[in-house]
Structure formats: structure tokens, C-alpha cells
Amino acid sequence: MGPSTIATTMYRVSAPGLTSGPELAQGGQMRQWIAGWHHAGDLPPVRRDADMMALTVCLVLLAALTAGNDHEPHSKLAVLSVVWATTVGLVLTHCFALLLAARLVRDPAYTVDIGTLLGIQLAIALVIAVATTVVVLAATRDFDRFGARASAAVFLGLIVGAESRRGGSSRSLAALWGLVAATTGLIIAVATWIVTA
């Protein structure tokens, strides 16, 4: 039994309207992901695990681009390689580890479909990577690494703010938490740019 079979049989999304059985098999993995994404907002485990991956991507991207000198000669390709290796690489590594863990530890009580979860995590990583790529390409060479760090900081704030609001915080408090997270990341981004000047 391969990982895909295990993911399909052991980890079903228990949400209304998500088909299973022959219909799901015929629709393929993409239909499964789309259906899962549609109901992900009602599944705290999916949101929690997806947020964990998104926050990890932002923090690691911020850390990876803090190392080095913003003002030394470098190519945009070098910056983009760090961006894409960090964002997509983290998700693919997590994908392999999660599928392996699912094979080793079987927990029927965990009702989240692994394919759906990994699809959401990959989609989030791609959004972060694409947005950061646009910033890097638009910025001058003195500011491309800073721009990538700033993008990670902004996404960090957006995720914290959005989930705080969804978790029951008032709009003002959720915005405050998001602002604190984004500002912390931006301080790191600015400080790195100044120190390496």
C-alpha cells in the first residue's frame, strides 16, 4: 500500500459536501484538494497545520535572508533561489515527512485528509513565493533582499492578524497582533539592511 492510498483511506476530511469513494477517485487529487479547501475554514486542524506551515515559511525566509550582506554584489537569481528553495522546499520536505509519519503511525481519529492539507500548504507557499518574487524583481539590487524580508514580515502579520480575528479577537485587537508581528519582522529587515550598509 503506497502513501497516496494511505492518505486517501486513513485521513478523510469530515466536512459536509466532500465526496468520497469512487466519485472522489474518479475526480482525481485536484478535485479532492479543491473540495477540501472549500471546507478548510470549518476544520481547525487544517487551519492550524496550514498556519503552522505558513508561519514557518515566513520565519525561515526572514532568517535565511538575514544572513549575508544586502549591499555586496549579488544577482537577483541568487535571491530568488533562496526564496523558492525556502518556501517550496520547506513544504516538499514537510510533505515527505508527513507521508512517512502517516505510514508509520496510523491514527484513525485524525480525520484530516493529508492530500488536502498538503495542497493548502503548497498553495500558501506558492503565494508567498510569487509575491516575494515580484518584490525582488521590482526592487533595485540594494533593496531586493530587504524587499524579500519585508514581504515575509508582511505575510507574517497578515496571517497572525487574520487568524486572531477568526479566533474570536476583536478587529482592533486582531489588527494590533498582526501589526506587532509584521513590525517585528520589518524591524529585523531594516536592521539587517542598516548593519550591512
Tell me, what's the pLDDT at 41? 55
Contact between 173 and 164 (Cβ < 8 Å): yes
Q: Which three cell numbers stand for residue 95?
A: 510533505
Tell me, what's the pLDDT at 116? 74
Contact between 66 and 188 (Cβ < 8 Å): yes
Tell me, what's the pLDDT at 195? 85
- Higher pLDDT among residues 43 and 11, named by residue: 43
> For the whole model, what pTM was predicted?
0.74
The mean pLDDT of 155-162, rounded to a whole number, is: 93
Contact between 88 and 125 (Cβ < 8 Å): yes
Helix residue ranges, H only, the chain: 3-10, 22-39, 44-64, 76-104, 114-138, 144-166, 171-195
Q: How confident is the model over 55-71, as pLDDT tens digits?
A: 999 999 999 888 878 88
Which residues lie closer than 8 Å to 35 by C-beta, 6 or more apart?
13, 17, 18, 19, 116
Tell me, what's the pLDDT at 155? 94
Tell me, what's the pLDDT at 5? 39
Lowest mean pLDDT among 17-26, 43-52, 77-86, 115-124: 17-26
Contact between 144 and 76 (Cβ < 8 Å): yes
DSSP 67: S
What does the alpha-carbon distance between residue 162 and residue 167 come to, in Å, rounded to a whole number? 9
Q: Domain boundaries in the chain?
A: 44-105+113-195
Tell me, what's the pLDDT at 17? 39
Closest CA to 33 of 126, 104, 108: 126
Q: Which three cell numbers stand for residue 130?
A: 510569487
> pLDDT band at residue 25, thresholds of 50, 70 and 90?
very low
